[in-house]
Amino acid sequence: MGKFQIMNYFCALMYEPISNEQLIDIANEFGTPVYVYHAEKIAEQYNKLTDAFKEHPTKFFYACKALTNINILKYVRSLGGLLDCVSINEVKLGLLAGFTPDQILFTPNCVDFAEILEGVEAGVRINIDSISILEQFGNKFGNSYPVCIRINPHIVAGGNYKISTGHIDSKFGISIHQLRHIERIVKTTGLHVQGLHMHTGSEIKDIEVFLQGLDVMFGIAEKFEGLDFIDLGSGFKVAYKEDDKETDVKTLGRRVAEAAKKFEQEYNKVLEIWFEPGKYLVSECGSFVVKANIIKQTTATVFVGVNSGFNHLIRPMFYESYHRISNISNPTGPERIYTVVGNICETDTFAWDRVLNEVSEGDLIVFHNAGAYGFEMSSNFNSRLKPAEVLVKDGKAQLIRKADVFNDLLRNQVI
């Protein structure tokens, strides 16, 4: 562990959560809605992983599709993390953030071959997930540019089918049943296969899913000489509710080390194990602060209508995801049952029958665990403006993205 990583490790151990008072101050300074991220929480999560997998050479590539603000990318790099990208523009952001090409893994899906060529021109690591692209790549580059191959292991995993990516109907990866086709392409074109990759989904609580996948990958690895790594993707679960459990990364780290060392005795080479945590690193660091616009009672429920909607936080409507919600303006008030909804002209229910401390119009409401796929999936639907982003580091709040203004809606429109 380097000097700066040691400093970050101890800072993370000593960090204090962002208080309600500080969130209120941030909302007053930058307005609402506003996304607030806590740097030291990211460090804590990163250090949990590095500690859990210390028994075997392991690398962690931050899946930046979870949150691509360049300040977050720079901070992850300062911790010692690497970068996983799914588009060429994420690659470009990573390079601007200071990552070197060899620290970036590029895993696009269903893209034009021209985008793959841009990745090669940038010098980053290429991960290929279709037979068509693999064949085009092999014919063009032969063994002159090493690649990783993404396999679909046909393992169903994750919180629901929408976030499971390793099942038989998934568009991701090359089916394990097409292994002979992969072998023929590699042999014919002379491709240098440097690594093998799989990713089965998100919200994986059962560590046996990872170990099952690892066993599948070991079976495939026997077909390829000279591999350097096996990438197990991610899917580490974070806690959303009070009684939720995270993926037991400590036990997983020990079990992965045991399995890898056993396989390596037969393979006659130590293989690095790679992971691509995204949500695990940044989900819990994020707080999304909104204002209660209106309290609306109907014959069925009491609505809290806030100054946001699924244009800013789509996960509850898209994935039926749960976010803990707090009234930070009245944290000790009597508890009431509310339905929390947004202000856009669509059904945009954040939560039904949620117990909150009594809410009055003008109160500030916080959605917790909002760091991953919150701002990143936001839009200007209904011509609403995107919110600001703020990073709290060493107790100080720093604006890392300005809130939209009206002219941002007109940018690129031809008038």
Residue 239: its pLDDT value, please?
Answer: 87
DSSP 15-52: --PPPHHHHHHHHHHH-SSEEEEEHHHHHHHHHHHHHH
Q: What is the pLDDT of residue 6?
A: 52
Tokens for 243, please give them. 């009684």
Which pLDDT does position 250 carry in this prediction?
A: 96
Q: What is the pLDDT of residue 169?
A: 63
- How far is Cα 232 from Cα 255, in angstroms, rounded to an integer? 14
Place of tokens 């300062």: 78
Read off the DSSP letter of residue 67.
-
Residue written as token pair 């939560």 = 351
Give catalytic status of residue 148 as yes or no: no
Cα separation, 3 vs 9, whole angstroms:
10
336 burial via Cβ count (<10 Å: 0-12, 13-18, 19+): middle
Measure the CA–CA gap between 191 and 358, rounded to whole angstroms.
63
The tokens of 373 are what?
Answer: 């796929």
Q: How far is CA 340 from CA 22, 293, 296, 310, in A?
A: 23, 11, 10, 12
Q: Where along the chain do its domains lie?
A: 40-279, 286-384
3-class DSSP assignment, residue 258: helix
Per-residue b/e over 49-82, b at no fewer than 16 CB within 10 Å?
bbebbeebebbbbbbbbbbbbebbbebbbebbbb
Catalytic residue of the set 11, 85, 110, 345: 345
Provide block-wise average pLDDT over 10 residues at a time, the chain (415 residues): 50 72 98 98 98 97 98 98 98 98 96 97 97 97 96 70 51 89 96 93 79 92 94 90 87 96 95 96 98 96 98 94 96 98 95 97 98 97 98 97 98 95
**pLDDT value for 161:** 46
Residue 8's pLDDT is what? 53
Task: Say if domain 40-279 classifies as CATH 3.40.50.2020.
Answer: no
CATH topology of domain 286-384: Lyase, Ornithine Decarboxylase; Chain A, domain 1 (2.40.37)
Report the distance separating Cα 109 and Cα 96, nearest Å: 23
